């Protein structure tokens, strides 16, 4: 008590503060709520079999890429052929797939394949379609169509942003590859 406040008389009722709630840690509550929401939305666990299946699929893709890029010609380090860098990337994919095959059998953090897993397959299929259409009808139309499929149908963007981003991205890649890098892409529009 301070000198300016009078002391209560002995036996007089003293002011007792009501029980005060301890301060809540709001940040901890928010983190727990977000963690619970993420756990509720996460697909069920797949287990080691899904790791092995995924690794085997990636291994096949890497081997196919290495085989196809070898067909383009590797050249040398001083004069690289068109298949050198795709071949090296494919070898890296093969090595990583083998590591996952060995280690993946002991992991259990894989998610089961769900309907949303098909989005990855559809995205890959449209990219392969771009590769097949490129020599037939040029770069511009398949690139814009790829952007539309990925943004609108796989990404759920609005039509306005889908069209704008698809056209601008295609124009940027057109300028980059045809003019800045002088890559002879088949194209319909010539400036």
Domain boundaries, the chain: 44-113, 114-191
pLDDT of residue 14: 56
Give the closest residue to 69 by CA, choosing from 55, 92, 89.
Answer: 89
Tokens at 4, concatenated: 């300016």
% of the chain surpassing 70 pLDDT: 86
Query: pLDDT band for position 9 (50/70/90)?
Result: low
Could you give the 3-state DSSP secondary structure of residue 189? coil
**Residues found in the chain:** 191
Under the banding of pLDDT at 50, 70 and 90, the label for residue 25 is confident
CB within 8 Å of 162: residues ≥ 6 apart: 147, 148, 151, 152
> For residues 154 and 61, what is the distance between their CA atoms, to the nearest angstrom?
22
| Contacts for 39 with CB less than 8 Å, ≥ 6 apart | none
Angle, helices 140-148/117-137, rounded to nearest 10 degrees: 160
Alpha-helical regions (H) of the chain: 26-41, 48-72, 84-104, 117-137, 140-148, 159-174
pLDDT category of residue 10 using cuts at 50, 70 and 90: low
Task: Give residue 3's pLDDT.
Answer: 57
- When pLDDT is cut at 50, 70 and 90, the band that residue 40 belongs to is confident
Give CA–CA dist 131/138, Å, rounded: 10
For residues 122-140, give the mean pLDDT: 86
Local confidence band at 12 (pLDDT 50, 70, 90 cut-offs): low
Indicate the DSSP class of residue 75. B
**Mean pLDDT in the chain?**
83
Residue 96, burial from CB neighbour count under 10 angstroms (0-12, 13-18, 19+):
middle
pTM of the model: 0.56
Q: Mean of the pLDDT values across residues 16-40? A: 74
Per-residue pLDDT tens for 55-103?
999 999 999 999 998 988 888 888 888 888 899 999 999 999 999 999 8
Compute how many other C-beta atoms are within 10 angstroms of the C-beta atom of residue 86: 16
**Residue 53 pLDDT greater than 70, yes or no:** yes
- pLDDT at residue 177 above 90? no
CA 188 to chain centre: 32
Residue 189 · residue 159 · CB < 8 Å: no
Residue 160 has pLDDT above 90, yes or no: yes
Output the pLDDT for position 51.
Answer: 85
């Amino acid at each position: 008590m301070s000198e300016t406040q009078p002391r209560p008389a002995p036996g007089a009722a003293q002011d007792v503060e009501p029980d005060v709630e301890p301060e809540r840690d709001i940040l901890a509550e928010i983190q727990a709520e977000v963690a619970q929401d993420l756990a509720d939305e996460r697909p069920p666990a797949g287990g080691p079999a899904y790791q092995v299946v995924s690794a085997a699929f990636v291994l096949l893709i890497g081997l196919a890429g290495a085989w196809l890029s070898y067909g383009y010609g590797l050249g040398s380090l001083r004069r690289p052929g068109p298949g050198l860098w795709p071949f090296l990337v494919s070898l890296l994919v093969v090595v990583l797939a083998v590591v996952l095959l060995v280690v993946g059998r002991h992991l259990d953090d894989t998610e089961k394949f769900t309907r949303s897993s098909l989005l990855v397959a559809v995205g890959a299929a449209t990219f392969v379609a771009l590769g097949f259409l490129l020599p037939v009808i040029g770069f511009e139309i398949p690139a814009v169509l790829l952007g539309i499929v990925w943004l609108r149908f796989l990404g759920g963007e609005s039509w306005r942003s889908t069209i704008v981003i698809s056209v601008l991205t295609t124009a940027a890649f057109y300028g980059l590859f045809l003019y800045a890098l002088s890559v002879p892409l088949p194209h319909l529009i010539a400036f």
